[in-house]
Amino acid sequence: MEPACRKDKPKLNSTPTRGDRARQKSAQQEHKQRQRAEIYALNKVMTELEQQQFEAFCKQMQSQGE
């Protein structure tokens, strides 16, 4: 037996239309492209920093050896 106070909610049309799916796919692609660009930019910055630190380390080792 179901409780008397329970009311069935009307179902909303939850199936996306073609246009909605296309917009969602386009938004996902743009998000992936933006993420990829950010990752490449971060990688470049980190590589440059690593190179600077390595060069500083080499100079320090040279000055200690003299």
What pLDDT digit, counting tens, does each position of 11-29 carry? Answer: 555 677 888 999 999 999 9
d(CA 62, CA 45): 26
d(CA 55, CA 48): 11
On the question of pLDDT at 2 being above 60, the answer is: no
Residue with tokens 């380390």: 57
Predicted TM-score (pTM) of this structure? 0.61
